Amino acid sequence: MKLAKRMADAVASLAVAAVIAHYACHADSDVSRDILIHSSPQTVWKNPMINQIAGELREGNTIVVDQWMIFHPMILACRENQELRWKGHVGMPGIFDGEHRFVLQPQGAGTRLIQSERFSGIMCGRLSRGIIDETAASMKEMNAALKVRAESQTR
């Protein structure tokens, strides 16, 4: 009987320690990078930000994105010349999820492109900081490449 109580206490202690460790390491994260492009939203929209997308860009559809890894996000919003937003995950939903968003805002004769991602899930936080930092750097590179392409079509 005493052994069973000790085992139950040990299991309870481990569970409490796991919960504390999770909350100490967990934090949802947001990344955002923007750039001013001297082209209309229509010109920016027709230049894909990601070259390897398969599937129809329509709200509720699941698409295939091949960008460093292949994943299958669901389109949450698709408003031509304005916004594309999807949510994907690594493994099962809730483990490491990302909601990615491209927003085009008219600004004078140009367009402000805002690319952002909100990471969430039980594996999001300090342990995934490297992935999040790489995403921010990749967004900056993608935005700059899109600026060059779109502006070369405006001249």
SS3 96: strand
Residue 17 inside a domain? The answer is: no
Residue 130 inside a domain? The answer is: yes
Residue 50 inside a domain? The answer is: yes
Give pTM, 2 decimals. Answer: 0.78
Residue 86 inside a domain? The answer is: yes
Report the domain count for the chain: 1
Residue 48 inside a domain? The answer is: yes
**Are 55 and 62 contacting, i.e. CB atoms less than 8 angstroms apart?**
yes
User: Comparing 104 with 96, which gets the higher pLDDT?
Assistant: 104
CB neighbours of residue 43 within 10 Å: 19
Q: Could you read off the pLDDT of 58-75 as tens digits, one per residue?
A: 999 999 988 767 889 999
Provide the sign of the torsion angle of the four alpha carbons 88, 93, 97, 100, taken in this order. positive
Residue 135 inside a domain? The answer is: yes
CA 111 to chain centre: 21
Residue 14 inside a domain? The answer is: no
H or E element: which one contains 84? strand 83-90
Dist CA 38 CA 54 (whole Å): 28
Closest CA to 29 of 148, 146, 137, 116: 116
pLDDT at 28: 74
Q: Could you read off the pLDDT of 13-56 as tens digits, one per residue?
A: 666 655 555 555 556 788 999 999 999 999 999 887 776 888 88
Closest CA to 67 of 147, 138, 132, 137: 138
Phi, psi of 99 (to 5 degrees): -105, 110
Q: Is residue 127 predicted with pLDDT exceeding 70?
A: no
Close Cβ partners of 132 (under 8 Å, ≥ 6 residues apart): 29, 31, 119
CATH at residue 107: 3.30.530.20
Range of the domain at 41: 28-154
Residue 13 inside a domain? The answer is: no
